């Protein structure tokens, strides 16, 4: 697993390293600039073949200082470099001012204005690279005074793919993007303004920031590269730092010798006739991920439909709450999944029985099991316990946590903006259980603040997951792992990672049924 830092956490690491005497601010700035140049030449090898023309936009802070270093290093390679500065040079931080002066001994610094940038690419057709070193991770206000510059650079970014404009590289993070949330900092309460530079390549330092993987971050960053600048690892406790899910421990996923009941018995509850597909998908996911037994509980009207579609999955009749209560007297049923295709009325009747079972089986609540309590979320929260997992998508999240969702969707006027990580942590604390907030930037949080992000972005992008039933399979996979004894948080983050990997393994054309069937391939790749 790797850290996903906030801007303040990154600044804290830098301050600690500088205060220890291990490094100076100028050292870090020099390493950052060198890292950008190295990443650019690796991304576009043709730029390493000889001197070219670049334009560098430097801002009023240390991000601007990084830009002056980039300009100087490109100049040392024989490049023609135009440097534009936004702000008052007299007010630059000390290290940035040093690098401003170092560049000033080599070339000119021009003020960054709309007039200066209009038509620049057309007037300089040999320009191959544009460097955004304007605001970086410290931006806390909308990027509005340079809106025309932002629009022009974004035009270059789009045109660069056809060779008609310079490639755009962002230093640390595209200017205008909130480093903590991945949200654009907007203008007013009604119409958020996408006031961010869009980069072909973003080069960040030490570790990815939350804004690189959340919300609009991946779209703004283009390709993301992390460069080491010699900072130590974070000394913080894991609960204080968000991490990505990472590759699960294969030893935990392997099955030990023994009886099928030694690997748990998962119960998936189904809806009525014509509404059983989602539960069957969940059941298949639970079985494939290693649960020893999986049973589908369906009403009488759906028995024949389900029986004709399943083989290894068992079938039990669950009509009313009393039927479920009777079934749960079997303590070997140690994990339940309720919601996929269940129906809101049926969910409202069955969820309390599942949550109040005497032996406290682990419970996954998805889809209808969440919507059923939209009118009274507190009633649901009062029944939940720490071995539960909620798996809402955006709409379901808003039904259960309307105030938290409102903070997340309100225009971000200043930074750091409220993030999906903030929202999921708040929801988990209120619910008293693990919450997995689905999306390309899936966030998983526990009530104690422990948080993981499973971002299907950049090299892990899996757009094929946008297909009916994919979430049902995920709910079943979580349930299957919980049946095997995985703690709620571990089950959620492991299933989320495997879910994306299965989608990436299958590739284009994926439908939900394919996800469980690619799990064996993933397990073999992990060495099982």
Q: Quick one: CATH architecture of 262-522?
A: 3-Layer(aba) Sandwich (3.40)
**Residue-level pLDDT, tens digit, the chain, 528 residues:** 689 999 999 999 999 999 999 999 999 999 999 999 999 999 999 999 889 999 999 999 999 999 999 999 999 999 999 999 999 999 999 999 999 999 999 999 999 988 888 889 899 999 999 999 999 898 888 877 788 888 899 999 999 988 889 999 999 999 999 999 999 887 554 444 557 899 999 999 999 999 999 999 999 999 999 999 999 876 665 567 899 998 998 888 988 888 898 899 999 999 999 999 999 999 999 999 999 999 999 999 999 999 999 999 999 999 999 999 999 999 999 999 999 999 999 999 999 999 999 999 999 999 999 999 999 999 999 999 999 999 999 999 999 999 999 999 988 888 899 999 999 999 999 999 999 999 999 999 999 999 999 999 999 999 999 999 999 999 999 999 999 999 999 999 999 999 999 999 999 999 999 999 999 999 999 999
Q: What is the pLDDT of residue 192?
A: 46
Instruction: Give the containing element (helix H, strand E) for 420.
Output: helix 420-431
Q: Are the C-beta atoms of 341 and 367 separated by less than 8 Å?
A: yes
Three-state SS at 131: strand
> What confidence score (pLDDT) does residue 107 get?
96
The position carrying tokens 């690098």 is 99
**How confident is the model at residue 249, as a pLDDT?**
86
Domain with CATH 3.40.1190.20 in the chain: 262-522
State residue 191's pLDDT score.
Answer: 45
**Alpha carbons 519 and 438: distance in angstroms, whole number:** 20
Q: DSSP string covering 449-484, please?
A: S-EEEEE--GGG--GGG-STTHHHHHHHHHHHHHHT
CATH domain 3-236 topology: Rossmann fold (3.40.50)
- Overall size of the chain counted in residues: 528
Going by C-alpha positions, the residue among 237, 202, 227, 205 that lies closest to residue 216 is 202
Residue 148 is inside which H or E element, if any? Answer: helix 147-159
Give pLDDT, residue 513. Answer: 97
What pairs with residue 167 in β-bridges?
129
Is residue 244 a contact partner of residue 453, using CB atoms and an 8 Å limit? yes
**Tokens in use for 172?**
């640390």
Distance CA 297, CA 327 (A): 9
Q: Residues 129, 52: contact at Cβ < 8 Å?
A: yes
DSSP label at 211?
H
C-alpha distances (whole Å) from 157 to each of 54, 386, 497 are 14, 47, 32
CA angle 174, 501, 249 (to 5 degrees): 100
Q: Are 165 and 159 in contact (CB under 8 A)?
A: yes
Nearest CA among 156, 208, 215, 157 for reference residue 186 = 215
Give me the residue label for tokens 């073949």.
49
Closest by CA position to 158, among listed 211, 208, 121: 121
Q: How far, in Å, CA of 154 to CA of 234, rounded?
A: 35
Query: Which pLDDT value is given to residue 164?
Result: 82
Cα→Cα distances 505→357, 467, 514, Å: 38, 16, 10
What residue spans in the chain does CATH classification 3.40.50.10260 cover?
3-236
Q: Rounded distance, CA 391 to CA 378, Å?
A: 17
What's residue 234's pLDDT?
Answer: 67
The three-point CA angle 140-85-178 to 5° equals 20
Q: Which residue has the tokens 């299957």?
A: 480
Give this prediction's pTM.
Answer: 0.95
């Amino acid at each position: 697993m790797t850290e996903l830092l906030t801007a303040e956490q990154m600044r804290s690491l830098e301050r600690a390293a500088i205060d220890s005497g291990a490094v100076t601010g100028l050292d870090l700035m020099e390493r950052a600039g060198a890292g950008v140049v190295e990443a650019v030449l690796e991304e576009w090898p043709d730029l390493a073949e000889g001197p070219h023309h670049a334009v560098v936009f430097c801002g009023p802070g240390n991000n601007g200082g990084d830009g002056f270093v980039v300009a100087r290093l490109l100049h040392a390679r024989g490049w023609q470099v135009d440097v534009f500065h936004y702000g008052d040079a007299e007010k630059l931080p000390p290290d940035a001012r040093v690098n401003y002066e170092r560049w000033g001994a080599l070339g000119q610094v021009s003020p960054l204005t709309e007039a200066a940038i209009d038509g620049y690419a057309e007037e300089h057709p040999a320009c191959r690279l544009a460097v955004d070193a304007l605001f970086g991770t410290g931006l806390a206000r909308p990027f509005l005074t340079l809106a025309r510059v932002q629009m022009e650079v974004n035009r270059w970014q789009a045109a660069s793919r056809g060779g008609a404009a310079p490639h755009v590289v962002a230093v640390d993070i595209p200017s205008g993007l909130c480093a903590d949330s991945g949200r654009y900092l907007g203008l007013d309460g009604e119409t958020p303004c996408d006031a961010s530079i869009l980069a072909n390549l973003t080069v960040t330092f030490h570790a990815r920031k939350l804004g690189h993987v959340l919300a609009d971050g991946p779209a703004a960053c283009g390709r993301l590269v992390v460069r080491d600048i010699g900072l130590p690892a974070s000394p913080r406790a894991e609960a204080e730092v968000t991490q990505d899910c990472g590759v699960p421990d294969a030893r935990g996923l392997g099955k030990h010798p023994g009886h099928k009941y030694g690997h748990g018995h998962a119960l998936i509850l189904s809806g009525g006739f014509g509404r059983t597909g989602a539960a069957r998908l969940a059941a298949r996911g639970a079985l494939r991920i290693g649960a020893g037994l999986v049973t589908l509980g369906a009403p009488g009207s759906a028995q024949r439909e389900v029986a004709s579609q399943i083989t290894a999955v068992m079938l039990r009749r669950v009509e009313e709450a009393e039927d479920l209560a009777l079934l749960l007297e079997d303590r070997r049923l140690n994990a339940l999944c309720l919601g996929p295709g269940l129906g809101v009325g049926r969910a409202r009747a069955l969820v309390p029985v599942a949550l109040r079972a005497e032996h406290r089986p682990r419970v996954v609540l998805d889809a209808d099991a969440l919507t059923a309590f939209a009118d009274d979320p507190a009633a649901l929260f009062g029944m939940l316990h720490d071995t539960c997992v909620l798996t809402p998508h955006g709409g379901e999240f808003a039904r259960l946590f309307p105030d938290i969702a409102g903070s997340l969707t309100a225009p971000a006027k200043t930074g750091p903006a409220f993030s999906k990580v903030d929202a999921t942590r708040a929801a988990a604390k209120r619910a008293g259980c693990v919450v997995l907030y689905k999306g390309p930037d899936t966030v998983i949080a526990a009530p104690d603040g422990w948080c993981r992000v499973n971002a299907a972005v950049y090299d892990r992008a899996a757009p094929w997951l946008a297909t009916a039933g994919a979430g049902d399979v995920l709910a079943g996979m979580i349930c299957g792992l919980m049946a095997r004894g995985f703690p709620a948080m571990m089950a959620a983050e492991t299933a989320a990672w495997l879910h994306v990997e299965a989608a990436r393994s299958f590739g284009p054309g994926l439908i939900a049924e394919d996800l469980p069937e690619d799990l064996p391939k993933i397990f073999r790749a992990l060495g099982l």
